Chain A
Amino acid sequence: MEHLRDNADEDRHGGLERSVEAARHRNQPQPRPWLLVAQAFAGQQDFERAVEFYELAIFPAQTRLSTDLATRAADLARAHRRAIEFYLLALRDRRYDLRLEELAMAQLNYGIALFKLNRLDEARATWETIQGDAAGILARAWLDIAAQ
């Protein structure tokens, strides 16, 4: 059983390395190959490398897709030091038609990332500015959680 598991891990790892190589080899601005690699690393709980590949997916794109990707990357790395940066990118890029509820969710999660990094005052200030009914309810719940 152990032997089978080792083989499976090896196959998975080998497959991922090949995907990384393929994405690098293409050297194209489209974010999709980088996104897939980032997600694969996230699946392996390797957040450092996942974030690295999300970065490759996001920064060259500079389209609406980059906002979506920034939110996803930040979502992935909520407790990671880089989460703040990705959320700020998602919030800053709202000129790319970020819908109101997407903006509210990005703000909610930006607050959560700050909270997880023990930046409580900034987290509270972020949650208090959230607009929207559903997001406002969740923000109040997080304010309660932070107060406990």
Chain B
Amino acid sequence: MSRILLLLAALMLAAPASAQATRSALGAEREAELRASILAAVAAPDFRSVTMQLEVYRTLKEAGVTLSSAELIDMAEQARKRGLPGEALAVVYPLVSRRCAS
């Protein structure tokens, strides 16, 4: 599965930026504000990427913040490492569909 994620990463990086992002229902300003407030967790002194990175992505998604393709692929990788293959697939599947449709 790691190799599949790497392949996806290569495909996504080759795709135009406009095709990578999903449209957010939030305004750009509100989205930037939410993104900054959630990503502040990463800079916290007790942040541990092994246990917390997936939570950061989940929180961003739930808040309606658009994740880049690279972030989605990393999110899938984090989910896979945590033994959640279903979540990993659910995260990368839209990327594959979008790529196939374009």
- Residues on A facing B (Cβ under 8 Å): 35, 39, 42-45, 47, 72, 75-76, 100-102, 105, 108-109, 132-138, 140-142, 144-145
Contacts and interface: CB of A to CB of B under 8 A. Distances in A.
Given A43-B89, A141-B37, A145-B62, A134 B83 contact: no
Contact of B85 (A42, A134, A141, A145): A42
Given A43-B85, A133-B46, 20 more contacts: A43-B86, A45-B86, A72-B82, A72-B83, A72-B84, A76-B84, A105-B52, A105-B55, A134-B42, A134-B46, A134-B48, A135-B46, A135-B52, A137-B37, A138-B52, A138-B56, A142-B62, A144-B34, A145-B59, A145-B63
A120 to B, nearest CB: 14
Contacts of B86: 42-45, 47, 76
Q: Interface SS of chain A: helix, strand, loop or mixed?
A: helix
Contacts of B8: none
A137 B41 contact: yes
